[in-house]
Structure 1
Amino acid sequence: MQERAARTRQALIHAAAREFDHKGYAAASLSCISKAAGTSIGAVTFHFASKADLADAVHAQGMADTRHALQQVDRSAGPLRSAVAMASAVVCCLEGHVAVRAAARLDRDRLDSALSWTAMWSKSIQEELAGTAGAEPCASATPSIGQAAPSIVLTLVVYMVHGAEMDLRRQLREETRDIRASSVSDRFTRMWKTLLPAVEHPMNF
């Protein structure tokens, strides 16, 4: 019985994530969510007291997925390259996890929320840039962020992640995704490969 209840709860969270991602918090309805999950409204209200409660669960799932991805990043390449790898992991999460996209949208739709998906991952990257998180860089790795100010690098990272999210949403909305074309995360990585020399050695540009 408990296992069945857990499956129902997870199905509701997944269905709600799709609704919040596609429609936003205000337009998403519990009736559409229950229908998408193959359950009744009674099942929704049994597991979640309100739409806000369900949105909190979706947001928490997106946060957990993103946090797990950040924990898997190899941080041996020095603060800057590790921070870029972390940002790339966030973009991959946006691309592959609907709960992550829903968390990103819920951040904007519910400005009074106590928890922020963007703040969570950007703080981790900020700490990496400051050298307060992650492993010590190896001898052959980039030892620091060079001449670039950490605050400027962090701003660039945040802007690029949000830009990647908007590009991904445009593709999903217009149904223009082509399996033969490069993914948003691939393009994000290639852009950073182009930018890295200028960020690492800005005085040369």
Structure 2
Amino acid sequence: MVKQERAARTRETLIRSAAEVFDREGYAAASLTGISSLAGVSNGALHFHFASKAALTDAVERAALRRLTEVAEVPVPSAGRVQSLIDVTHGLAAALRGDVVLRAGFGLCGEASRMPAADLRGWWQGWVEGTLKEAEAAGELHPGAAARDVVSAVVAATVGFEVLGTRDVEWLSAATLTRFWRLLLPSLVSSALLAELAPEGGAAAS
């Protein structure tokens, strides 16, 4: 049992170290030697857990997807599904600021040289689509705003913030997300619902 726990800790350390190297240097420039050195283990120990760079990269992406699904697993607030969408975008931005594994997972999705083991951007698009369809079915959207028309704006903006945030963390700030929602919401929901929503998300949404 002790050996199993130690092996699990080593594996998690390697995944985090790989994420840090991918985040800092990019996938192509990252080396297994650099990753094992950062993790404080030998190359042999790294290869015991991951047969190749591709296998380690796949593990980073899968770990990142698990974290993304956790960000999105929030109860629907009393204000409805649009508020849930607002809250989760704020949660995602905060997680991207502080979680290098999640950040690296999104970054790896942009690597044209490989097929991702877990497509975080694709999963995010699907979640946004599903949430907006639920909001539409619940009558939360403005009569002139169809869910399919709003998805592209929300996904493009949030993924854009994620990409730009790798260079300037201000793109992932609560203020940036709040300004985005203040701009979008009047065309997305009725004036009656607008008064109930909190574009700043978080505790203000409850």
Bucket of the pairwise TM-score, normalised by the shorter protein: 0.7 to 0.9
**What stretches of structure 1 of length at least 5 have no aligned partner?**
138-142
Any conservation in 2 of the 1:79–1:145 contact (CA below 8 Å)?
no
Any conservation in 1 of the 2:19–2:104 contact (CA below 8 Å)?
yes
Report the counterpart of residue 165 of structure 1 in structure 2. 162
Report the counterpart of residue 141 of structure 2 in structure 1. 145
Question: Which stretch has the larger CA shift, 72-81 or 162-171?
Answer: 72-81
Report the counterpart of residue 121 of structure 1 in structure 2. 124
Q: CA RMSD in A?
A: 2.5
Q: AA paired with 2:121?
A: T
Any conservation in 2 of the 1:122–1:158 contact (CA below 8 Å)?
yes
2:57 & 2:64 partners in 1: Cα distance?
11
Question: Which stretch has the larger CA shift, 53-62 or 102-111?
Answer: 102-111
Q: Displacement of 1:192 after TM fit?
A: 0.8
Matched ranges for 1:101-120 at <5 A: 101-110=103-112, 111-120=114-123
Report the counterpart of residue 32 of structure 1 in structure 2. 34
Q: AA paired with 2:176?
A: R
Q: Displacement of 1:86 after TM fit?
A: 2.4
Q: Secondary structure at the residue paired with 1:19? A: helix
Any conservation in 2 of the 1:103–1:117 contact (CA below 8 Å)?
yes
2:9 & 2:117 partners in 1: Cα distance?
27
2:195 equivalent to 1:192: no
Any conservation in 1 of the 2:85–2:131 contact (CA below 8 Å)?
yes
Question: Which stretch has the larger CA shift, 51-60 or 146-155?
Answer: 146-155
Q: Displacement of 1:75 after TM fit?
A: 4.4
Q: Secondary structure at the residue paired with 2:179? A: helix
1:186/1:132 Cα in 2 relative to 1: closer, same or farther (>3 Å)?
closer
Q: Displacement of 1:201 after TM fit?
A: 5.0
1:84 & 1:155 partners in 2: Cα distance?
15
Q: Displacement of 1:89 after TM fit?
A: 2.2
Percent same amino acid among aligned pairs?
Answer: 35
1:64 & 1:117 partners in 2: Cα distance?
10
Matched ranges for 1:1-205 at <5 A: 1-110=3-112, 111-131=114-134, 143-146=139-142, 147-171=144-168, 184-201=173-190
1:2 & 1:114 partners in 2: Cα distance?
25
1:183 & 1:90 partners in 2: Cα distance?
9
Q: Secondary structure at the residue paired with 1:190? A: helix
Q: Displacement of 1:183 after TM fit?
A: 5.8
2:90 & 2:124 partners in 1: Cα distance?
11
2:163 & 2:39 partners in 1: Cα distance?
27
Q: Secondary structure at the residue paired with 1:109? A: coil
**What stretches of structure 2 of length at least 5 have no aligned partner?**
192-206
1:29 & 1:149 partners in 2: Cα distance?
46
Report the counterpart of residue 140 of structure 1 in structure 2. none
Task: Tell me the TM-score normalized by structure 1.
Answer: 0.81
